[in-house]
Chains A and B, each alone.
Chain A
Amino acid sequence: MAHAQESHTKRIWLVFGFLCIITLVEVALGLAKPEALYFTKFLGTNLLNWIFIILTLVKAYYIVWAFMHLEGEKKWFRRVIVWTVVVYISYLVTLLLIEGSYLNENLKSLVNWNY
């Protein structure tokens, strides 16, 4: 591969800094729990959780692309890996989370919280 001899040191440290900043933002948001985000429901969960999930995916992208160096691989090799994982996991998440909500709706009336 052509990139094999180049040095990526500077980019590596930049990505490290970026990942640290994202983690710090996540922790700060998790501690602060801003009301406007925490209590606004959107697509099954609250906005704060959506921010966490998106930031996690951003982190995952940088780890896979920069650290695991998928950006340097052939296009179809990347697609074999990424499409397989993304399609299958999205499918699984959708089915099982819908099922989980269904279980909750049907079972919660059977749980007694008052004595």
Chain B
Amino acid sequence: MEANIAVNSEQTNAWSGGGEKPFAAKYGKMMMWFFIVSDALTFSGFLVAYGLIRFKFIDSWPLADQVFNHFPFMHGDHPMLFVALMTFILIFSSVTMVLAVDAGHKMKKAQVTWYMLLTIVGGLIFLGSQAWEWKNFIGGAYGAVKTKEGKVLQFVKDGHQIALSDFVVGNSGDRVAHTKKNGLWFEEDASLPTYSLEQVKNSYEHNTSILIRTEQIDPATKEKRILTRDEGTRFLLTANKVVEGANLHENEYGKTLFADFFFFITGFHGFHVFSGILINIIIFFNVILGTYERRGHYDMVEKVGLYWHFVDLVWVFVFTFFYLV
């Protein structure tokens, strides 16, 4: 390597041409900070765009508590618990990271190794949790009906949302999936929903204990408006398809943009976590191989630590604006 570069980076500073370092900070660390600033602005752009759309649809935006309510090995309605657990996992892996940096300052190789390993494990657990969250979001738990105007109608019984499978009866009838071969050549259905629209409508008519919940939020209770039976029948007349789960085109929770922002922002954050884990693994092996011991300092651990804390920082904001507010 020495033969190819003008300055031997192992022995001299990246800042050259003078003894003074700007802000007394090392080159790599300063550049990592500048990258973090630009990345922070990118994330704030996404989150503020989410805020714009949310304020635009403030009276009909999905309620996070009704969307993210799963917890592993537990049935029923558990809003917020899982995402709080994810937050703790990420904060904890941030702590092990900062302990690794601290041990690096003291040149304790064994400690740095173990703390880096814990950080990587924490990151992997977080990523797995996020995958599980996505799986639940994409799969959906209840199913809903969508009207021609794009409104999503959900079904409730005794004040609680119920799944289509809990009340829909009868035969789905003869249905043919719309593929490129048998319909419009540029469109196709991903797959047929479990129940046909007629089936859902008939089941609603015959089961008087079922009510319909609209997307509209009642300002007095801050809950979604539940229709009377007759109103529900009139709303159902405009229904044109059954929606199960979520994708970029439609979702059973309400506004399409809600799922789009969820996929985009948590996906972008998840990708940061993923790349953070990869970088952590590279640094981890360098620590084991003794690269930084020979170099005489653990600055690389500090730099990757900055990135890792930034990922945690972003999650704090995602947690607030997607799940709490």
Contact = CB atoms under 8 A, between A and B. Distances in A.
B56 A103 contact: yes
A4 B44 CA distance: 32
Interface string A23-34: 110110011000
B320 interface: yes
A85 B48 CA distance: 13
A113 B313 contact: no
* Chain A contact residues, majority secondary structure: helix
A49 B325 contact: yes
Interface in B268-324: 305-306, 309-310, 312-313, 316-317, 319-320, 323-324
A63 B94 contact: yes
B88 A52 contact: no
Contacts of B231: 114-115
A60 to B, nearest CB: 6
B176 interface: no
Interface string A52-88: 1100100110011011110001101100110011001
A55 B300 CA distance: 31
Interface in A1-60: 1, 4-9, 12-13, 16, 19-20, 23-24, 26-27, 30-31, 38-39, 45, 49, 52-53, 56, 59-60
For chain B, the bracket of interface size reads: 35 or more
Given A52-B324, A84-B37, A20 B88 contact: yes
B40 A85 contact: yes
A74 B306 CA distance: 16
Interface stretch (B135-143, B166-174, B233-241): B233-241
B183 to A, nearest CB: 29
Contacts, number: 151
A77 B51 contact: no
Contacts of A23: 84, 87-88, 91
B317 A52 contact: no
A81 B60 CA distance: 37
Contact of A100 (B23, B53, B80, B316): B53
Nearest to A27: B84
B260 interface: no
For chain A, the bracket of interface size reads: 35 or more
Contacts of A97: 48, 51-52, 55
B95 interface: yes
Nearest to B41: A88
Contacts of A26: 84, 320, 324
Nearest to B40: A85
B318 to A, nearest CB: 10
B5 interface: no
Given A49-B325, A73-B25, A4 B94 contact: no
B153 to A, nearest CB: 11
Contact of A89 (B44, B102, B319): B44
Given A20-B91, A52-B325, A100-B51, A68 B24 contact: no
B234 A115 contact: yes
Given A74-B23, A89-B44, A115 B235 contact: yes
Given A20-B88, A74-B24, A100-B52, 14 more contacts: A26-B320, A27-B81, A45-B325, A49-B324, A56-B320, A59-B316, A68-B313, A69-B101, A96-B48, A96-B51, A104-B55, A111-B60, A112-B149, A115-B237
19 contacts: A4-B105, A7-B106, A16-B92, A19-B91, A20-B88, A31-B80, A63-B309, A63-B312, A63-B316, A64-B313, A68-B306, A73-B23, A74-B23, A76-B23, A88-B41, A92-B45, A92-B48, A103-B56, A104-B59
Interface of B: 23-25, 30, 33, 36-37, 40-41, 44-45, 48-49, 51-60, 65, 79-81, 84, 87-88, 91-92, 94-95, 97-99, 101-102, 105-106, 149, 214, 216, 222, 225, 231, 234-235, 237-238, 305-306, 309-310, 312-313, 316-317, 319-320, 323-325
A-B CB proximity, top 7 nearest: A100-B55, A77-B23, A115-B234, A103-B56, A100-B52, A56-B320, A96-B52
